[in-house]
Amino acid sequence: MTTHTWFITGSSRGFGRSLATAALAAGDRVVATARKPEQLDDLVVQYGDRVFPVALDVTDAAAAESAFSAAQERFGRVDVVVNNAGYANIAPVETADEADFRRQFDTNFWGIYNVSKAALPILRRQEGGIVIQFSSIGGRVGGTPGLGSYQAAKFAVDGLTRVLAAETAPMGVRYLVVEPGGFATDWAGASMEIGAVPEGYQATVGAMADMLRSGTSQIGDPDRAAEILVRIVKADTLPTHLLLGGYPVQAALDYSRSQIDEVTAWQAVSASADQGAQYPVDLPPSK
């Protein structure tokens, strides 16, 4: 079985930690990045020189380039890049602190942009590689009250990744967007801050904050998800998008069906905007 070298952001906890451990357990090598790489000391003790901890703040483009240079110097190549680092805070868009909204976007979108861009020269020279972008089911269906910055970033990540896939396909670079549901990590725990929720938003943002903090939706197993991703890489069966969890599958199916129904209902109206097309046409009846 081929030995891969992984470059994983946010490796100190959550999905990143589970994925680093799963890759190492499968015999691979891991460049494990984190803001505080000393939090990875136990992995070094267990796996020795197959794990290479590197300090990285993904919002720092120069640091991302330096991290890849160090990875290449240490292991000679990078086969799998995993953009996992990210977090979310909750607040209504109307009243959210703008600086916090921007900081979240800096990590959740620009961090992925920085790391993806820094990886490309290496992957191009190698004439191949895999980039795994962590999104969420919210990055496909959206509409989660209180997560305006987080979900906007995840939609942007999907758009960026589709363009990257088209641009670099002749170079052998492939992409997988991972879309998890609720998992048993600290994403909705210590990592999440809940801003002030005005009275008018209690039924939407407040209710969502209460549900996330209760942990009732965090039923996914991050270790099992990590093993699935390692198996996919090892088997070389790469989808463009991978939903993780039963709820995301049902939510995605429902959303796709509703999109098809809406496009079909408005098809004649949409087509009538073309020059030479029949115009005007009747609007669909209101529901």
User: Rounded to an integer, what distance in angstroms lies between the CA atom of residue 15 and that of residue 92?
Assistant: 27
Bridge partners (DSSP) listed for residue 178: 134, 242
User: Rounded to an integer, what distance in angstroms lies between the CA atom of residue 242 and that of residue 256?
Assistant: 15
Q: Which residues of 235-261 are buried (b: 16+ CB within 10 A; e: fewer)?
A: eeeeeebbbbbebbeebbeeeeeeeee
Reported as half-sphere exposure (CB side, CA atoms, 13 A), residue 156 has a value of 16
Q: Which residues of 144-172 are buried (b: 16+ CB within 10 A; e: fewer)?
A: bbbbbbbbbbbebbbebbeebbeebeeee
Q: Which residue has 């995605």 as its token pair?
A: 252
Among residues 133, 154, 114, which one has the least CA distance to residue 229?
133
User: Rounded to an integer, what distance in angstroms lies between the CA atom of residue 189 and that of residue 215?
Assistant: 8
Catalytic sites, residue numbers: 135, 150, 154
Q: Which residue has 């499968």 as its token pair?
A: 26
Helix, strand, coil shares, percent, the chain, to 5 = 55, 15, 30
Question: Helix 111-126 vs helix 61-75: angle between axes, to the nearest 10 degrees?
Answer: 30
